[in-house]
Amino acid sequence: MYYFDGMTKNQSDYPYQNTSLEDLPSERWADLPGFEGEYEISSLGRIKSLRRWRNCGNNSGYYTKEIIRKQHARFKKNKLLRQNTYTIGNTLKKNGKSYSTSTSRFVYYAFVEPFDLDDKQLMISYKDCNGRNLHYDNLILTNFSEIHKRSFELNRHHSRFTYDRLPIRQLSMDGKLIQNFPSLTDAEKKTGIHISGISACLKNRIYQFQGFRWEVVSKNTKPSIVKADDGQIFNEYLWKKIGMPRTSKMNPIPALNIGSGDLQGEKWKAMEGLEASYLVSNFGRIRALPRFKYGGISQIWTKGKILRLVPDGNELKKTSCLLAPLTKNGKKFQQSVARLVFHHFVKKIDLKDKKIRIGYINAKFFDLSSKNLFI
C-alpha cells in the first residue's frame, strides 16, 4: 500500500521540492510531452507551469503566473530494509481535465530518450534506488520483471523461501521429476528461470512457470497455498443471491454445481469466438479450459475449472438471469448463460442483439437446461 508524503522541513533536500523560479545549477528545461505550451519539465525533475491565457467565458479571462509546481511523494514501506521507497508524481490539467503523472517518466522521455508513455509495462527505475532523485542520469527504463530481479540482486527484497532455504523440485507438465534443488535461489542460478515465477508456483498462485511445475519438497514447512480447485461443488453465494431454491448441497442443480466432474447427460461445446478458452454445456455450466495466458511475468498455465455464475440483479433489482464472467484478449466482460446455451444447443442467434430475449418454460431463470429455453 502506498502513502502520501508532504514536503520536508528542508525544502532543498531534493530539487523537485524547490519551488523557486530561479534555475538550479546544471538545470535544463524542455516541453512536457503532451502538455506543450502549458508545462515544462526540468532535467532535475521540477515541473514549471507556464504563463498562459485562461479563458473564463463572456470574452473575459486572465494570464496565469509562471510557477514551479509542488509535487507529491508516494511512499511504500520496505519491511526488509525498514525504510521507505518513493515515487514522485503530479496532477496536471489540460482542457479542464486532471491527469495524474509520474515525473520520472517525463524526465526520462525529455532528457534521455523518447519511449511509449502509454505503455504501462515500461517502467522507470533509479540507479541509486532513490525515487526522489529525479536527475535524468539516475533513471533507467525497464519493466516489472527486471525491477523485481534487481530488487533480489540488491538484497532489497527476499522471498520467504530464500530465508527458509526450502528444498524444491522441478517437474515436467505431466508431473515427472526433472531435478531437485536445495533452495529457490539455487534453482534460479542453475536453470536461469526467474525466482519470482518459481516462487509464484510454490505458493500455488500460478500452475506452472516457463513450462515447468515447481513444488516444495520439505514436509516440515507448509507453503502458502491458494487452491484453484478445493473439491467444492456447491456455489452457496449464488444460491443465497437467487433466493435459496430447493436443492441438495451434495448434488446441486447445475447452475450451482461448480464441481469439475461431468453431470449425467451433460454435453459440451466450444464457445463460439472463445474456442480455446471456454466450453458451454447443455445444462448451462461454463468450463474455463487449461491454457496459457499472460500473467505479468511471462506466459503462465492456468488450470481448467467450472466458472462461478453471477446474478444480474442487485439490492434494487431482482435477478432475472445468470451471467458468466468471461475474458477475451485480456478484457473482462459478462454474457448471459441462457443466451449462450440457446445459441449453442438450440438455434443460432445474434448474441449481441439485445432485442432477442430468452424465456424459461418453467419460469425458473436458474434452470439453464437447453430444453427449458425459448425465444
Look at residues 215, 219, 250 and name the one whose alpha carbon lies nearest to residue 236: 250
The total of other beta-carbon atoms located within 10 Å of residue 26's CB is: 8
* 208 and 318, same domain (yes or no): no
DSSP letter, residue 143: -
pLDDT at 209: 79
Is residue 244 located within the same domain as residue 344? Answer: yes
pTM across the whole model = 0.43
Cell numbers that stand for 28 in this block: 535544463
> Hunting for cell 525497464 — which residue is that?
142
Residues 330 and 366 in one domain: yes
Same domain flag for 299 and 323: yes
The number of folded domains in the chain is 3
**Which pLDDT value is given to residue 331?**
84
Residues 9 and 106 in one domain: yes
> Same domain, yes or no, for 12 and 34?
yes
Q: Print pLDDT tens along the chain (375 aa).
A: 333 444 443 445 899 999 999 999 999 999 999 899 899 999 999 999 998 887 777 778 888 899 999 998 888 877 666 778 888 998 888 877 888 888 999 999 999 999 999 888 899 999 998 999 999 999 999 988 888 788 777 777 665 544 456 788 998 876 789 999 988 888 888 998 888 888 878 876 677 777 788 888 865 444 333 344 445 788 888 888 888 888 888 888 999 998 888 889 999 998 998 887 889 999 999 998 876 665 544 455 667 789 999 888 666 667 788 999 998 877 888 999 999 999 999 999 898 888 888 999 998 999 999 999 998
> Tell me, what CATH number does 210's domain have?
1.10.10.10
Answer yes or no: is 231 within a domain: no
Residue 356 lies inside a defined structural domain of this protein = yes
Domain that holds residue 109: 3-153
Q: Are residues 164 and 149 part of one domain?
A: no
Residue 277 within any structural domain of the chain = yes
Instruction: Judge if 170 and 274 occupy the same domain.
Output: no
Residues 296 and 197 in one domain: no
Q: What is the CATH number of the domain that holds 244?
A: 3.90.75.20
Do 22 and 101 fall into the same domain?
A: yes
**91 and 54 together in one domain:** yes
State whether 97 and 186 are in the same domain. no
Residue 247 lies in a domain: yes
Does residue 335 lie in a domain region?
yes
From start to end of 113-164, where are the E strands? 123-126, 139-142
**Contact yes or no for 369/284 (Cβ under 8 A):** yes
d(CA 239, CA 214) in angstroms, rounded, equals 36
